[in-house]
Amino acid sequence: MTQSSANSFTDPRNRYPRPEFDIQPQKLPGQESKMTPTPDHGESSYQGHDRLAGKVALITGGDSGIGMAVALAYAREGANIVFTYLSEAEDAHETERLVREAGREVISIKMEQSNNRAACDRAVEVCIEEFGRLDILVNNAAFQQTYESLQDIPDDEISYAFQTNIEAFFHFSRAALKHIPPGGSIINTTSNQAFEPSSNLAPYAATKAAIANFTLSLASEAINQGVRANGVAPGPVWTPLIPTTMPDKKVKNFGANTLFGRPAQPAELAPVYVFLASAEASYVTGEIYGVTGGRIQM
């Protein structure tokens, strides 16, 4: 696992921007180019070491945030990339550019994964048709929205959150396990919200708890064919979900409640996903790796 920037250590509290942040409202799903500060995906820092040479990875929600950072890191580690995105073509094109600059092939798939098993199955089929293999599945795409009270949550948004955030993980995993060879892996993005839920994120937090649970049961089945399954539980990460779904006050002070006093940048998550996909994690399955800035997981 490596996050390579300067060779010397730096104070992690000040490595990236700290709140207060500008108020910057956006509509879902949001655009990274409109964020201040612009998220760091490791564009100028991540250096690969051929950990994933010749592999093929499918990353859901690879157009921005953690998904973009993982796509970049995997490409610099030698993997070809297939990624999905909902609607933000500008961000998707940027992911494509970064992967191609790393010398790897990339395919982007615009799709809605909510209540859409056929589209999830089709994304896996594209990997096989275009690259002849699938080695790594990263279930990452998610929906969140904040609400002042349970009374304010529309019924259809509860359903949409569960269909997007956990049901699609079942669909993708079921399809991928037909093709992932021994030594391959599935990595699910859960959240610290699974262990320390916020009342204003109740549907999102519940789905993230479900993902953590699903990861454990998936690991016990997938290992029967030599496939490892693990999860990553981020704390606050500076992605388009923040200005598009959170109140202005939350955006302004986002990440201030961590031990670092700031949110993570997507670049700080990618090395964990690289480790979990690599042979270095050959004895790691059924684990949930927290990257929370010191927030406690219960």
**Count of C-beta atoms within a 10 Å radius of residue 247:** 12
| Whole-angstrom distance, CA of residue 39 vs CA of residue 9 | 21
3-class DSSP assignment, residue 134? coil
- Give CA separation, 264 vs 33, 183, 254, 276, in Å: 18, 30, 10, 19
| Whole-angstrom distance, CA of residue 211 vs CA of residue 61 | 16
With residues binned 3-state (H G I as helix, E B as strand, rest as coil), the percentages for the chain, rounded to 5, are: 40, 10, 45
| Whole-angstrom distance, CA of residue 86 vs CA of residue 49 | 31
Specify whether the backbone of 238 is left (phi greater than 0), alpha (psi in -120 to 50) or beta: beta
CA atoms within 13 A on the CB side of 59: 34
Say if CB 244 and CB 64 are below 8 A apart: no
Is 204 annotated as catalytic? yes
In the set 204, 273, 283, 289, the catalytic residue is: 204
Encoded amino acid at 171, one letter: H
DSSP code of residue 270: H
Q: Which residues are catalytic?
A: 204
